[in-house]
Amino acid sequence: MRHILVTLPELNDAHRQKLREAGASCEMRFMEAKDVSSADIASADIILGNVPPALLGAPEGLEFFQLGSSGADAYVAGGVLNPRTVLATSTGAYSQTVAEHALAATLMLLKKMHLYRDAQARHEWTDFGTVGTLDGAVVLVVGLGEIGSYYARLARALGAYVIGVKRRSSAKPDCVDELYLTDELDGVLDRADVVMSVLPGSAATAHFYTAERFRAMKQSCIFINVGRGNAVASDVLEAALRGGEIAAAAVDVFETEPLPADSPLWGLENLLVTPHASGFYHLPATVGRVVDICARNLQAYLSGGEIINVVDFKTGYKK
């Protein structure tokens, strides 16, 4: 009998029952991720949820590892997992919550609501003048996966002209007006009124947004990052904002998290900081979506069916 370790947070009885039914032929144990030990991992044939990567040590007996997150970058590093382990993510479960967060941040900056909130805290009656709109704006979505596509649909619904950028060639989806590959990005950066980045964490995307790329953007451009923090170095972002190379930014992910209290980014009036809060389970519906993916993939793995969101260890991306 296979042993399954479940570390997904915030499960209710219905969620647990769905997982038990998917793994009916197995022994299933539920634990909090923070309480998991190396011994617990060593005894598991299957893990549903995330565990501290440092505890893994490439376990020989781990057959299938279904993450509760959409990102897998911490688990594809050498020595963390055995290459024979099938690794899958919960990509798709977080699309709504992250995309809506990014849209809210976009509108907040366009309408200068962050400045009005700051003025309110100072008890100041101040008019900040001209604002922007998504109606007729050019929105560049860098990373056109599940989240990027969801955001693209929302932006188009508000009248934006959307340009998508993705890693692999494909037919243009209906959610964008134009589609380019990643190596064509520099040819369209200067057209964007909004750059929304949802790049995954990988060696290829580390410090992707260079000083040169920020200089290529319009000075009126708004930059949104809800992907991975290592896509832009903090000092490069700070320089772009202080130097007026872009108008404003909303960032949910940083190279160092939590963002250090002494980081100069905190003091930038044209930067909206959120503490990696766009995803997780802040939207209650998300946990149900994660459970659905985990149950589906568990059942598929046990029956020899098709598993979705399988990760390529070489690239860190979904196969």
**Spatial CA neighbour of 150 closest among 202, 103, 110:** 103
CA dist 306 and 289 (Å) reads 18
Copy the structure tokens of residue 97: 């919550």
Predicted TM-score of the model (pTM): 0.94
114 catalytic, yes or no? no
Structural contact between residues 183 and 202, judged by C-beta atoms closer than 8 angstroms: no
Structural contact between residues 240 and 211, judged by C-beta atoms closer than 8 angstroms: yes
Pick the catalytic residue from 27, 257, 269, 306: 257
Structural contact between residues 32 and 8, judged by C-beta atoms closer than 8 angstroms: no
CA dist 289 and 234 (Å) reads 33
Average pLDDT of the chain is: 97
Pick the catalytic residue from 15, 114, 228, 289: 228
**Predicted pLDDT of residue 149:** 98
Arithmetic mean of pLDDT, 251-255: 97
- pLDDT for residue 319 is more than 90: no
228 catalytic, yes or no? yes
**Predicted pLDDT of residue 204:** 85
The CATH number of the domain covering residues in 3-93+283-303: 3.40.50.720
The CATH number of the domain covering residues in 95-273: 3.40.50.720
pLDDT digits (tens, 9 = 90+) for 105-134: 999 999 999 999 999 999 999 999 999 999
- Write the DSSP symbol of residue 194: E
- pLDDT for residue 24 is more than 90: yes
- pLDDT for residue 182 is more than 90: yes
Pick the catalytic residue from 3, 153, 191, 276: 276
- pLDDT for residue 304 is more than 90: yes
Structural contact between residues 51 and 41, judged by C-beta atoms closer than 8 angstroms: yes
- pLDDT for residue 32 is more than 90: yes
Our measurement of the distance from residue 265's CA atom to the centroid of its chain's CA atoms, rounded to an integer in Å, reads 21
What pairing do the DSSP bridges indicate for beta strands 222-225 and 248-251? parallel
Quick check: do 3-93+283-303 and 95-273 share a fold?
yes
CA dist 87 and 47 (Å) reads 10
What DSSP element (H or E) covers 48?
A: strand 46-48
**Predicted pLDDT of residue 171:** 96
Q: What are the domain boundaries of the chain? A: 3-93+283-303, 95-273
